[in-house]
Each structure stands twice: as C-alpha cells, then as structure tokens.
C-alpha cells in the first residue's frame, strides 16, 4: 500500500461512523481485504534496550531476573490428595498458541492438571496470526521444552489424533469450530471455557451459537458478567451446565523483580509510569486510552504511558493509534512497544496499571499487576468489579461503550475513533493515581498479599479439574464455583 493509500484508508476508518451500518460493514470488509499497510507501518518495536527517557544510562529490561529473596516467597501449589482417583485424559484445545491471556490459561491447565489426576496434552491449530511476522508459537515451544505433550493439528488429522491419544474430555480455549466438530465426530465430550464474549456481540451470532452449543457438554465462564452475558444471548443453554470459575494468579508468573533496577533499565527516575499490557486492537481500545492519556499528560508533565503488546491482529488499528499518539503535545511520553518477554519487570517499574477495554473475560494482565503490588485502573468489564473490590485496589471507571452488560459490536465499531463516554472518568482516575502516588506506593505489599491470597491459582485449577473430571467420568457437575470476593 502506498503512503497516500494508507492515509486514505486511515481517514476512511475514522469517518466510518457517519456511514449507514450495512454499508459500513461492506466497506469494512473490503478495507480489511485490500488495505495492507505493508512497509508503511511495521508495528511497534520490541527493542527493550531503547529507553523511555533518552540520555540516561541504558539497561536491558528483558534480562532482569527475579529477586532470589523477598518478604514473601512465591506461592507453591497446594498438595492435592488424588489417592484412589481414576486418572483421566484431557486434551486442551486452542487456536494460535503464541502469546495471549486465553493461551496462558490453557498452558496453566496443561502444566497443573496432572496434580488432579488429569493427564494433559495440548492441541493447537496455528502458531501465528495472518500477517504476523516471525515464526510465532512462543508458548507452544515453551510447553514442548517443559515436556508437555503438544501437537499442531489440521482438519485432516485432528480426528485421527483424537482416536490415537484417546482423550476422555477436551477443554476448549478459543479453538476453531472445526476442532469441536472433529471431537463431536469421534464422541469426545467438550468443555468450553468462555474467556470473553467477543464472538457473541452481534445478533447474527446468536442463532448459530445455539446450534454450536448443542455439541458442548459443559461450559466454564471466567466471570459472572461473562456468564450473564452468554445466557442472555443463548437462553436455551442449560444454566446448570455453565459454571463460573475465575482465573487465578499463577505463582510462577509473579516473581518479584527489583523495582529500582527495572526503572533504571527504562531510564526512569521520578517519573510516574502507567503500564498497559494489551494488544493493539479494538477490544483493548488502545486508541481510546492513548487519546485520553493526552489530557493526563497535559496536566501532569512527569506522567508517562507505556503500552506493550502485539499489533499483528490489526496493523491499521495500530497505525491509527500511533498517529494519534504522535499528534499529541505529550507524544514523547506515550510509548508504544511490542511484546515484552519479561512482563514482571515492566510491572515492577510501573506506578499504576491501566486498561480501557470495551470487554474482557477476566483480565490476567490486571491480575498480574495486582500480584506485583501495582494499583489498577479498569473499565467495567468482566472480572473488574471482583478484582477492584470497591476501590480497595484501584479505580473502576465506566465502560467506554456504556452499559457493560449491553456491549455489542455495533456500538463498539461506532466508538472506535470517536470521543467515548468514559473519557472524563478515565482521565480523572489516572490523575487521581498520580496525586495519590505516595499512598499507593506504600500500599504495594498489601495489594500483592491480597491478590495472591484471594485469587488463588489452586482454587481456579481445582474448579476446572472438578468440571473436567465430572464430564470425563460421566458424573454430575459440581455446584457452581463463584468468584472470590471480599467486597
């Protein structure tokens, strides 16, 4: 795509809200098909040796290792008595096994379910998204190196693999529908994990989901809001077969990194740093966050925003976000970076964490921030109310699309590059974080202790294990697990 064509495509996206809905959908499909940014935008840099504040001593953030000792050691998994329990086999099915919240949950289950007498293998259908650079498959390689059985499947060999490995149950995590069809064809029961509701935010998806769900034996929702949203859209699904099991914080992922060294590696001294670990995409509303932060930056000259995540999902969206950031007077304090292999070092350096998402299921990124002792600013999305506990761990602001329970793609699409209704609340919450920085800094240990104690990975693991074992053994499903809350 030429530079002129790219400018035209970006302008057309920003003006799309004035076009009638049906025509906008047709135009959007055409734009996504033909508008390839190509060499005009290569995505955010993943070079973490580049400082946020130039002219200071360089560091290597990704090379920082966790501290050997600290006030509290990492939490070890609780021992589980499986004496006399019949072992069952569970295939954990996912789509692109590279990086992402749903994929991390799948990997967590693959590693830890064997302690509950559930032997695991991971099957996945790709290693990178269309247009993504590099080999991808980072998480797939990590699991294989750890000795977890992994297999890249295709429509041609998925059923044969299932017949060969003979799983008793399959745990699905955003897997392709043809994989569900293959499982149904060979008679393996499927337990779907609803990480969020993005597939069901358009009325056209409701009737097909009603048919698809007939092949699903049971479902696990990661938050009460996700459960409520699903049942509202698919009321024919038995509500006693949809249980809530919130995500937990994996102790292996929340090891402490020295804060001073992490800040020095980014070139920071007294600056206030907001970190957002999020993909550049419409769901995460990175554009809305960046444009709102411009107001924060104008009022607080020492405030910085660092966004870290992949952009390959939608390079045009990333380019819109990059240009919006570049057009602000505080553009030198908005840092758009790619994936970081050491997220705990970023969180150690952060003063606050922020997400301006339109929807989430149960954000792992914000949970990891809390487990690092970092206060959070979250929009009203799945899991946010439970995580924030009425303001004890940060600020809850309105959903950018309005009522969180009524979010749909039509509203989201109309708002993607327009002023959003929660902007004033978001700016106020971020500004409050800066004003109260000393209070939150002194509270980091409490935040960490609460997050690790209340959102135990052992409880989440046990909830999944009970559902999967019950389905595998043909037993009655357990009573519903409820999200932990101290509100």
β partners of residue 45 = 337
Listed residue (349, 316, 448) closest to 393, CA to CA:
448
What's the pLDDT score for residue 483?
Answer: 41
pLDDT value at 19 more than 70: no
pLDDT at residue 34 tops 60: no
Compute φ and ψ for 134, nearest 5 degrees.
80, 180
Distance of CA 264 to the CA centre of its chain: 27
Q: Please indicate whether residue 255 or residue 440 has the higher confidence score (pLDDT).
A: 440
Report the pLDDT averaged over residues 269-282.
Answer: 96
CB 318 within 8 A of CB 13: no
User: How much is the pTM?
Assistant: 0.76
For the residues 249-262, what does the mean pLDDT come to? 84
Q: How confident is the model at residue 38 (pLDDT cuts 50, 70, 90)?
A: low
What average pLDDT does range 455-477 have in this prediction? Answer: 95
DSSP string of 432-457, one letter each residue = HHHHTHHHHHHTHHHHHHHHHHHS-H
What is the average pLDDT across 457-482?
89
HSE (side-chain half, CA atoms, 13 Å) at 264:
9
Residue 280 class from Cβ within 10 Å (0-12 exposed, 13-18 middle, 19+ buried)? buried
The yes-or-no verdict on residue 80 having pLDDT over 90 is: no
pLDDT given at position 405: 80
DSSP secondary structure letters along 392-437:
TTEEEE-BTTB-GGG--HHHHHHHTTS--TTHHHHHHHHHHHHHTH
DSSP of 200-227 = GSSGGGHHHHHHHGGG-SEEEESSHHHH
Distance CA 262, CA 10 (A): 36
What is d(CA 438, CA 104) in angstroms, rounded to the nearest whole number? 33
Ranges of beta strands (E only) in 224-300 are 242-244, 272-277
Is 470 exposed, middle or buried (CB count within 10 Å of its CB: 0-12, 13-18, 19+)? Answer: middle
Question: What are the structural domains of the chain?
Answer: 1-40 (no CATH), 48-64+256-454 (3.40.50.2000), 88-248+456-473 (3.40.50.2000)
Let me know the angle formed at the C-alpha of 171 by 165 and 174, rounded to the nearest 5 degrees.
115
Per-residue pLDDT of 48-73, as tens digits, reads: 999 999 888 777 899 898 986 544 44
Residue 2 has pLDDT above 70, yes or no: no
Q: How far apart are the first and last CA of the chain?
A: 52
Pairing status of strand 190-194 against strand 218-221: parallel
Q: Considering the chain, what is the average pLDDT of its residues?
A: 88
Average pLDDT over residues 174-190: 97
Tokens representing 382 are: 């799945």
Using pLDDT thresholds of 50, 70 and 90, give the confidence band for residue 305.
very high
pLDDT of residue 36: 56
341-354: pLDDT as tens digits: 999 999 999 999 99
Confidence tier at 428 by pLDDT (50, 70, 90): very high
Residue 418 has pLDDT above 70, yes or no: yes
Compare 206 and 436 and report the one with higher pLDDT. Answer: 436
Average pLDDT of span 279-292: 95
């Amino acid at each position: 795509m030429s530079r002129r064509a790219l400018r035209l495509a970006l302008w057309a996206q920003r003006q799309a809200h004035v076009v009638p809905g049906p025509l906008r959908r047709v135009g959007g499909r055409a734009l996504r098909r033909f508008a390839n940014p190509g060499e005009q935008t290569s995505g955010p840099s993943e070079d973490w040796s580049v400082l946020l504040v130039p002219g200071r001593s360089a560091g290597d953030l990704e090379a920082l290792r966790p501290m050997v000792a600290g006030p509290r050691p990492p939490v070890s998994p609780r021992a589980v008595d499986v004496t006399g329990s019949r072992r069952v086999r569970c295939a954990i099915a996912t789509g692109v096994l590279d990086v992402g919240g749903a994929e991390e949950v799948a990997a967590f289950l693959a590693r830890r379910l064997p302690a509950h007498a559930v032997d695991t293998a991971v099957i996945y259908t790709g290693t990178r998204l269309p247009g993504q650079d590099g080999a991808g498959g980072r998480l797939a390689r990590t699991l294989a190196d750890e000795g977890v059985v992994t297999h890249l499947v295709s429509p041609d060999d998925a059923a044969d693999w299932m017949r060969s490995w003979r799983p008793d149950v399959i745990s699905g995590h955003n897997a392709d529908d043809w994989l569900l069809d293959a499982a149904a064809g060979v008679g393996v029961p499927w337990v779907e994990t609803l990480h969020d509701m993005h597939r069901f935010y358009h009325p056209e998806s409701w009737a097909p989901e009603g048919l698809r769900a007939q092949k699903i034996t049971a479902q696990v929702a990661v938050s009460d809001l996700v459960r409520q949203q699903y049942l509202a859209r698919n009321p024919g699904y038995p509500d006693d077969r949809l249980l809530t099991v919130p995500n937990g914080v994996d102790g292996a992922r929340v090891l402490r990194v020295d804060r001073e060294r992490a800040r020095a590696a980014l070139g920071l001294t007294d600056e206030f740093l907001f970190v957002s670990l999020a993909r550049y995409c419409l769901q995460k509303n990175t554009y809305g966050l960046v444009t709102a932060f411009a107001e924060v930056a104008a009022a607080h000259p020492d405030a910085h925003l660092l966004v870290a995540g992949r952009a390959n999902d939608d390079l045009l969206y990333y380019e819109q976000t990059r240009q919006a950031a570049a057009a602000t007077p505080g553009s030198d304090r908005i840092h758009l970076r790619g994936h970081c292999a050491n997220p705990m070092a970023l969180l150690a350096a952060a003063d606050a964490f922020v997400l301006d998402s339109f929807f989430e299921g149960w954000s792992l990124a914000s949970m990891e921030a809390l487990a690092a002792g970092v206060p959070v600013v979250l929009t009203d999305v799945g899991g946010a109310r439970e995580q924030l506990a009425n303001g004890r761990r940060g600020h809850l602001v309105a959903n950018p699309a309005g009522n969180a329970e009524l979010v749909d793609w039509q509203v989201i699409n109309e708002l993607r590059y327009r002023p959003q209704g929660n902007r004033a609340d978001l700016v106020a919450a971020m500004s409050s974080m800066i004003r109260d920085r000393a209070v939150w800094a002194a509270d980091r240990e409490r935040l960490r202790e609460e997050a690790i104690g209340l959102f135990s990975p052992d409880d989440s693991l046990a909830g999944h294990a009970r559902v999967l074992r019950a389905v595998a053994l043909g037993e009655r499903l357990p009573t519903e697990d409820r999200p932990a809350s101290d509100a």
